[in-house]
Amino acid sequence: MISASDLQYCLPGLSLSFEIVANVEDLVTNPEDDDQIPYWAELWPASRGLAQYIWGHVDFNGDRVLELGAGLGLPGLVAACKGARVTISDYQPEALKIASRNALRNGIEGVAFELADWRDWPLREKFDWIIGSDVLYNPRSNPYVGRILANSLAASGQLLFAHPGRQVTLSFLGELVASGFKERREIIPVTVDNPPLSDYKIDIHHLYR
């Protein structure tokens, strides 16, 4: 049984009650196996920054949005609040269970939850947007994301990725720009109550054709 606690996440004009994992370290069973490290259980600064950017800058107007590696589901649920038809995906079943409970407790409807492994991607739908927060940190897994983007992004689709200034992420997104995407970038300051670090600068990349 995963111990949970509550977090009130607030943006101007929006307040969400979020279930989060109380003690993430309790979930670590094999630190040598990257698949078993519970990255999904943290509400990362990049997730907060992407949610903040979406709330302040994007109106989806019924667009289909896929969130990759959604974890607790914050950016995807904020996108749903801005009019998107959202599919929240993650590799871990427990992440989807908590994300679905977070949707329910905030009265957010019309969100789909998909268990999906990037290495054997099961979804055949095309999406108007694909979004992700700090999911491009592993050069071994980024090629799988590249394949998902090639197969699951609509012809006129757009991308939103957030990260805390990782070089490997910048390299991956730079390759997309070199392949023909245009890009807008913004830095979003994020403050979290999580010593020793509390202030972050989150890179937001909006890619479009």
pLDDT for residue 20: 83
* Model confidence at 209: pLDDT above 90: yes
* Contact indicator for 174, 162 with CB cutoff of 8 Å: no
33-80 pLDDT, tens per residue?
566 566 777 889 999 999 999 999 999 999 999 999 999 999 999 999
* Model confidence at 155: pLDDT above 60: yes
CATH class of the domain comprising 43-208: alpha beta
* Residues pairing with 160 in the sheet: 131, 206
Q: At what angle do helices 74-81 and 45-57 cross, to 10 degrees?
A: 10
pLDDT for residue 21: 82
Give the residue from 56, 57, 77 showing the smallest Cα distance to 12: 56
What residue ranges do the domains of the chain occupy?
A: 43-208
* Model confidence at 18: pLDDT above 70: yes
pLDDT for residue 29: 59
Q: Which sign does the torsion angle of CA 121, 104, 86, 189 carry? A: negative
pTM value surpassing 0.85:
yes
